[in-house]
Amino acid sequence: MPLSSASFFSFETPPSSLSYLFIIMSELYTPEERSAEYENYSKTSSQYDATRVEVGIEFMTAAFASVGPMAKLNLLDAGCGTGSYIDAFRGKVQGVVGVDLNQGMLDQAERKFQDDPNVTLKQGSLVDIPCEDNQFDAAMCNQVIHHLAEGEGEERFQGIQKLANEVFRVLRPGAVFTLNLSTPEQTEDGFWWASLIPDAVEVMTKRCPNVSELHEMLSNAGFTIIQTTALKDEVLQGENYLDPRGPLKSEWRDGDSTWSLVSESELSTAMKFVEEMNSDGKMPSYIDDREQRRQQVGQTTSILALKAE
């Protein structure tokens, strides 16, 4: 059954209202901050931990341990969200500072860590990180950089370059930076449901730099690239990922920001397709076919970069 090719820019809201909204956002936020808020995380933050799991923990643990004894490390989580990655490391390092733009996400994190004196949370932009020069021994940034891209032109990754520059600034010489993202290829083929919403996925792929582009941005910031690994055996939604009726549930869709880019018409078409495929008993084979692609490319890629001494 063919899927709709309805445009992402198909809105019910009158153009005048959209123009007014854009003017208001332009006055209040930088381009990077506007881009970071394309998903309403103040709304979805309460469901986020139920639909996402941490990936790349083994990769990051090895990277951080290469710097020195982990118990002595000061760690930055750039774009900490609800703090799930902080939770994975807070008992292993000396201290963690989490920075995020969205207060809804930070509210969830604050509830987790309110009694932990070794965790500090700050609201702030990743293109102007509210921390001192040479403050950290290690930094991580997980599934965040697509929020910093804007537009479709050659300059759309300026926000990501600014992030790389800022992380380099706040790390001490000899420190490491781990970055986890979904490349354009992984965004298209690493998620079984991506073929249900091709227009939204196309928009998302333009927000995602490929590995060579990201290597160049990190090098421009001053980093030395140490390792790049596609994580083929880990999925962002954990045990919920293969739910054949997942796309029909708003809380399930809230687990990945690509769904926030779906137009009403594309969502309607996708949900009808999922309903029919489940009713006809064809969804398992559909998922299996898509999963063969994920097993080849993985869902995410982790990069390790060093700030040389």
Give the model's pLDDT for residue 232: 96
Report if residue 12 sits inside a domain.
no
Question: Is position 10 within any domain?
Answer: no
- Each residue of 183-215: pLDDT tens digit? 999 999 999 999 999 999 999 999 999 999 999
The reply to whether 250 falls in a domain is: no
Residues 6+ apart with CB under 8 A from 234: 55, 56, 298, 299, 300
**Residue 263 counted as domain residue:** no
Q: How many CB atoms lie within 10 A of CB 115?
A: 6
Portion of the chain with pLDDT greater than 70, in percent: 84
Question: What is the band of 52 on the pLDDT scale with cuts at 50, 70, 90?
Answer: confident
Q: Which one, of 80, 66, 75, lies nearest residue 93 by Cα?
A: 75
Q: Domain range spanning residue 168?
A: 32-37+45-184+206-241+301-306
pLDDT score recorded for residue 152: 77
What value does the mean pLDDT of the chain take? 87
> Is residue 7 predicted with pLDDT exceeding 50?
no
Rounded Cα distance between 96 and 301, Å, is 23
State the alpha helices, DSSP H only, in the chain: 15-28, 31-36, 41-51, 57-65, 84-89, 103-113, 158-170, 184-189, 198-205, 211-221, 250-253, 264-279, 283-297
pLDDT of residue 47: 57
Structural domains in the chain (count): 1
What CATH number has the domain bearing residue 146? Answer: 3.40.50.150
Does residue 198 belong to any structural domain of this protein? Answer: no
Dihedral (C-alpha) 193, 298, 45, 159: value to the nearest 10 degrees? Answer: -110
Q: Is residue 54 part of a domain?
A: yes
For range 141-162, the mean pLDDT: 92
Report the pLDDT value the prediction gives residue 150, as an integer from 0 to 100: 86
* Predicted confidence (pLDDT) at residue 260 exceeds the cutoff of 90: yes
Q: Please state, in angstroms and as integers, the Cα–Cα distance from residue 26 to each residue in 15, 30, 103, 145, following that order.
A: 16, 7, 19, 20
